[in-house]
Structure 1
Amino acid sequence: MPLRPSRRLFLGGCGALALTAAGWPARAAGSSRRQLRGVWIASVDHIDWPPAPGLPEDRLRAAFTELLDAAELLGVNAVFVQVRPTADAFWPSPYEPWSQWLTGTQGRDPGWDPLHVLVAAAHARGIAFHAWFNPYRVAQHDDPARLVPHHPARRHPEWTLAYGGRLYYDPGVPAARAFVEQAILDAVARYDLDGVHLDDYFYPYPAGGLPFPDDASFAAYGGTFTDRAAWRRHNVDLLVRELRDLVRAVRPEAAFGISPFGVWRNAATDPRGSATAAFQSYDGLYADSLGWVRDGLLDYVAPQLYWHLGHPQADYAALARWWAERTAGHDTLLWIGQAAYRAGAPGEAAAWQDPAELSRHLDLDAGLPQIGGHVLFSARNLRTDPIGTVARLAADHWRRPALPPLLPRLARGTPPAAPALAAADGTLRIAPGGPPPFRYVLYRLPQGPGGGPQPSTDTLAACLPSADCARPLPLPAGRYTATALDRAGRESRPAAPVEV
């Protein structure tokens, strides 16, 4: 079966590399062969998918396929798909209604299971699927009467608060927090998810200088707290810790992470903060992202560094270095959220009119070994790309293939069995050595007698979904080996090399 054009095989420029009898040990953070290349797919307000409300199943499937096509062509290996945008569901949840962003009408059954279809579509391409949940946002309006009658927010008005024209579950109400966790865990338990992802919304962003109206919950549940800000951070920390534990109990190999607002605190406020003068998530959203890293609550953190290099209040370079320093020595992987949506957009700063801006971000990040990947916001910008910024980033930094990240806590697990290779008539056949793996990694080795060099990106030719290897692969003449990758990213020992 010919490879699809997006299955790019990089077979030139091979450096010296041979295999050792012991095979290749699993490597976690810091391996140059591993990199997260992700994209967010937002459903709220039809930002990315679904593109419009109430579309039939075939149109929705085709639209998601188009997004995956664009992502795959650029070299993306993970998608972060928003499946619970406003206390609703993109799957038949027993806890919350079908999403209005899917059917056009909250509670209307679309007649199929979108989450199952989306996960399967990503996995067929060897792309990891991270389900993205917004914990506390109930509605983009503040009228409970507009919710379906059976909505939990209507059955439990004591859980909700109206603020800034929107409706939220109150993070200070323990029953509300437990319900949110239960609703999310339903998807985690029922679907083959590679990750559980939260964004930057915990307590809402301040609206017009108005205080968040949680006097009643603070009085009822504040306990010994005299500092309401500290109590709010405690509430957010409880959600993060409890959800992490629940996810690991149900799906131990799923990654659990958060993409917080990019500024924790400014150095003028706290000496541990960054050299910035911007909104502070610690104080404004009550999100102690630095504490989550320190306490090991996350598998990864993906701060949204949506500013350009040299920004006067929040310089990308200063923040990238700050996050790299703060994650050093911890098992929390660091991936950076990149503002692809700003590139070429009307009204944005001059830096965002330069097609090389995001590529320069990754140039800088390449010198910071703690940064193990990037996530682009958002998927539609991969296709529109008005000034070619995303294409430039991919050409400069994602041209060569990469293995997916491996969480440090999973690195010591049992890797898959090594595959077996057979070559004939200019093709290579890869057969699994055990249960079919998630991906195969193809390496083109130097000609001549063996040696002892270690694996490197120089010989990494392709990272392919196992389904693409069900038939012989036509390849240029050369000496090849392959490994198997499981869903966690653990790599097998290499197969015995063959000549094609």
Structure 2
Amino acid sequence: MHPVDRRSFLRLSGSAAVGSTAVVAALAGGPALVGGSALAGPAAHAAADAQEEPAPPSREFRAMWLSSVENIDWPSAPGLDVEEQRAEYLAWLDLAEELGLNAVIAQVRPTADAFWPSRLEPWSMYLTGTQGQDPGYDPLAFQIEQAHARGLEYHAWFNPYRVAMSEEPDLVEDHPARQHPQWVWPYGGKLYYDPGLPEVRAFVQDAMMDAVTRYDVDGVHFDDYFYPYVVEGEDYPDQETYAAHSDGSTPIQDWRRGNIDALVREMHERIREEKPWVRFGISPFGIWRNASSDPAGSDTSGSESYEIICADSRRWVREGWVDYINPQIYWEFGHPAADYETLVHWWSDTVEGSGVGLFIGEAAYKAIDGTFEAVTELGDHLDLTRSLPEVGGNVFFSAKSLRDDSTGSVDDLVSRHYGRPALVPALDSVPGEAPERPTVISARAVEEGVQVRWRAPGATTLALWHLPTAEVGEAELADGRNLVAVVRAERAAGELVHEGADGSGCYAVTAYDRTWQQSEPSEARPVRAARG
């Protein structure tokens, strides 16, 4: 549905183009989008400068949540055959590329089950319609492989404590919840593991780490489900657990928050020990506490995650127990109880100096269902978040809403902000080592455009830059208008054709490790004319 024309595109010489869509078109006068990347360079600068638009950032996290619980996004229904499931997933990656995203956050453990052959939990019913039934392939392996082939980061999204979406589910005979009935309790129409039991906390970590250890994930992601959202008039049935695992000196509300703190802290420690490059992030409810409850809280008057799900998200940031925080700020500018701008500034202030990355969770579904009255609401959100140095990007819920753009809100967002590619930000808390400086071997005019060849030993990802001059400094590498493409090293094979390029300017390459630590840039090489 994006207003595009199909003209020029980027080609990997001797390799398939990144993504299954070879050409994703450009707005008239703008860059051509390919594989989530955009063709840009000196020619584009003049147009942007003439309009006095701020230069887009070269680093920005751009992701969508791909939700599997109750088949919200993928797969669209239980029981699809293998090829149908694969085709649907590839279509979501096509969309991510078309929109200019650089990451996908995919739900792989929605209800104490698995989208991989887990050693501890059954296959998810959302795959086949029957819990425990083998879908005939490994969805997690397939998802990661295909995302990486397109240069997209893959964050595996887990729900720690939710067992089932009903209180009396049909669990397989060997399900841990059936083998250990003392681990679970019903609440609000659903079934949950008891977060107050140390053995439960250890088990759910083991279940999630099974995927982290065995698969090449880039990130581990929790959403906002810890203790269940409070149901009015119904307390959690954990009084016996509290009596058994507390000396009574800590109020039960603080004890519950302590249980979640322990889960977050221990999970971070285990990920860092197993795979130091894997990022751990959490997407809590957008309001930690209101200032009326705590002077450190935000100037809001909505529900507080500190109370309603026992999530002390501000502490996780201050203690460094997460690598990034991704608060769900699912409201609009001027909302009377939870103003978007107020909350973005509060979270920006909260992470400042912590080393924790901040990505803002965006309610794309509200832009599509009409809750957001202005078509420009989502795009206006990015006007704000890009102005704040502590905000590193945005994540959209959910994939379906990005696809079904009935209002034009996503069109507006993409045309205003995602017309050029972006690198994933590096995070201070994630250890890494930049690869050695790459070398551009040649930049040669060819019939299709400009062919660039390079050497970049030890790199996971490469970025190709088209610059007005041979100057390659911090300013040039911060300006997204200079960024031509971001490609996985194994896919590019040391060559890339910038199709449609006019042969002006110079080309440089930077290299990145798994944590997005950037090498020194190569020397910028001017384009050599084709031999006639």
Q: TM-score, normalised by structure 1?
A: 0.92
Q: Which moved more, 1:233-242 or 1:203-212?
A: 203-212
Q: TM-score, normalised by structure 2?
A: 0.86
The structure-2 alpha-carbon separation of the partners of 1:389 and 1:440, relative to structure 1 and needing over 3 Å to count, comes to same
Provide structure 2 residue ranges, at least 5 long, that are not aligned to the other structure.
1-10, 24-32, 47-55, 528-532
Query: What's the counterpart of residue 141 of structure 1?
Result: 166
- Per-residue CA deviations over 1:385-437 (Å, capped at 9, x if unaligned) read 111111211211122222111011346624354143323342323344314x3
Structure-to-structure mapping, 1:232-251, within 5 angstroms = 232-251=256-275
State the alpha-carbon separation in 2 of the partners of residues 420 and 303 from structure 1: 40
Q: CA deviation at 1:381?
A: 1.5
SS of structure 1 residue aligned to 2:336: coil
Query: What's the counterpart of residue 443 of structure 1?
Result: 465
- Equivalent of 2:519 in 489, 492, 495: 492
Q: Indicate the RMSD between aligned Cα atoms, in angstroms.
A: 1.9
Contact kept? 1:344, 1:354, Cα under 8 Å? no
Q: CA deviation at 1:469?
A: 2.6
Contact kept? 1:15, 1:446, Cα under 8 Å? no
- Equivalent of 1:327 in 338, 342, 351: 351
Task: Please tell me the residue identity of whatever aligns with 2:377.
Answer: E
Query: What's the counterpart of residue 281 of structure 2?
Result: 257
- Equivalent of 1:109 in 106, 111, 134: 134
Q: CA deviation at 1:463?
A: 1.9
- Equivalent of 1:481 in 479, 489, 508: 508
State the alpha-carbon separation in 2 of the partners of residues 450 and 371 from structure 1: 28
Q: Which moved more, 1:414-423 or 1:472-481?
A: 414-423
Structure number with greater CO (CA < 8 Å, separation at least 6) is: 1
Instruction: Report how many aligned residue pairs link the two structures.
Output: 479
Structure-to-structure mapping, 1:163-178, within 5 angstroms = 163-178=187-202
The structure-2 alpha-carbon separation of the partners of 1:424 and 1:233, relative to structure 1 and needing over 3 Å to count, comes to same
Query: What's the counterpart of residue 75 of structure 1?
Result: 100
- Equivalent of 2:423 in 381, 403, 410: 403
The structure-2 alpha-carbon separation of the partners of 1:181 and 1:494, relative to structure 1 and needing over 3 Å to count, comes to same
- Identical aligned pairs, as a percentage? 46
Query: What's the counterpart of residue 380 of structure 2?
Result: 360
Task: Please tell me the residue identity of whatever aligns with 1:166.
Answer: K
Task: Please tell me the residue identity of whatever aligns with 1:244.
Answer: H
- Equivalent of 1:60 in 75, 79, 85: 85
Q: CA deviation at 1:468?
A: 5.0
Query: What's the counterpart of residue 381 of structure 1?
Result: 401
Contact kept? 2:121, 2:176, Cα under 8 Å? yes
Task: Please tell me the residue identity of whatever aligns with 2:86.
Answer: R
Structure-to-structure mapping, 1:181-330, within 5 angstroms = 181-330=205-354
Query: What's the counterpart of residue 26 of structure 2?
Result: none
The structure-2 alpha-carbon separation of the partners of 1:451 and 1:382, relative to structure 1 and needing over 3 Å to count, comes to closer
SS of structure 2 residue aligned to 1:253: coil
- Per-residue CA deviations over 1:442-467 (Å, capped at 9, x if unaligned) read 111224x7586743314222223335
Task: Please tell me the residue identity of whatever aligns with 2:63.
Answer: G
Q: Is 1:343 equivalent to 2:367 in the alignment?
A: yes
State the alpha-carbon separation in 1 of the partners of residues 472 and 202 from structure 2: 57
Q: Is 1:95 equivalent to 2:115 in the alignment?
A: no
Q: Which moved more, 1:481-490 or 1:375-384?
A: 481-490
Query: What's the counterpart of residue 162 of structure 1?
Result: 186
State the alpha-carbon separation in 2 of the partners of residues 132 and 277 from structure 1: 29
Contact kept? 2:42, 2:468, Cα under 8 Å? no
SS of structure 1 residue aligned to 2:509: strand
SS of structure 2 residue aligned to 1:188: helix
State the alpha-carbon separation in 1 of the partners of residues 432 and 215 from structure 2: 25
Q: CA deviation at 1:103?
A: 1.2
State the alpha-carbon separation in 2 of the partners of residues 451 and 130 from structure 1: 32
The structure-2 alpha-carbon separation of the partners of 1:388 and 1:450, relative to structure 1 and needing over 3 Å to count, comes to closer
State the alpha-carbon separation in 1 of the partners of residues 119 and 489 from structure 2: 34
Task: Please tell me the residue identity of whatever aligns with 1:494.
Answer: P
Task: Please tell me the residue identity of whatever aligns with 2:80.
Answer: L
Contact kept? 2:452, 2:507, Cα under 8 Å? no
- Equivalent of 1:37 in 36, 40, 62: 62
- Per-residue CA deviations over 1:131-164 (Å, capped at 9, x if unaligned) read 00000000001115x1111000000001000111
Q: Is 1:390 equivalent to 2:420 in the alignment?
A: no
Contact kept? 1:170, 1:176, Cα under 8 Å? yes
Task: Please tell me the residue identity of whatever aligns with 1:199.
Answer: D
Query: What's the counterpart of residue 10 of structure 1?
Result: 40
Contact kept? 1:240, 1:297, Cα under 8 Å? yes
Q: Which moved more, 1:420-429 or 1:299-308?
A: 420-429
Contact kept? 1:324, 1:368, Cα under 8 Å? yes
State the alpha-carbon separation in 2 of the partners of residues 204 and 253 from structure 1: 31
State the alpha-carbon separation in 1 of the partners of residues 143 and 278 from structure 2: 17
SS of structure 2 residue aligned to 1:358: helix
Contact kept? 1:421, 1:481, Cα under 8 Å? no
Contact kept? 2:472, 2:524, Cα under 8 Å? no
The structure-2 alpha-carbon separation of the partners of 1:432 and 1:411, relative to structure 1 and needing over 3 Å to count, comes to farther
State the alpha-carbon separation in 1 of the partners of residues 429 and 118 from structure 2: 30
Q: CA deviation at 1:209?
A: 2.4
State the alpha-carbon separation in 2 of the partners of residues 190 and 432 from structure 1: 30
The structure-2 alpha-carbon separation of the partners of 1:41 and 1:425, relative to structure 1 and needing over 3 Å to count, comes to same
Contact kept? 1:48, 1:380, Cα under 8 Å? yes
Task: Please tell me the residue identity of whatever aligns with 2:524.
Answer: P
Task: Please tell me the residue identity of whatever aligns with 1:368.
Answer: L
- Per-residue CA deviations over 1:222-280 (Å, capped at 9, x if unaligned) read 23434000000000000000100011111110000100000001111111111111111
- Per-residue CA deviations over 1:182-230 (Å, capped at 9, x if unaligned) read 0000000000010000000000001232101101101111234340000
The structure-2 alpha-carbon separation of the partners of 1:227 and 1:418, relative to structure 1 and needing over 3 Å to count, comes to same
State the alpha-carbon separation in 1 of the partners of residues 291 and 507 from structure 2: 52
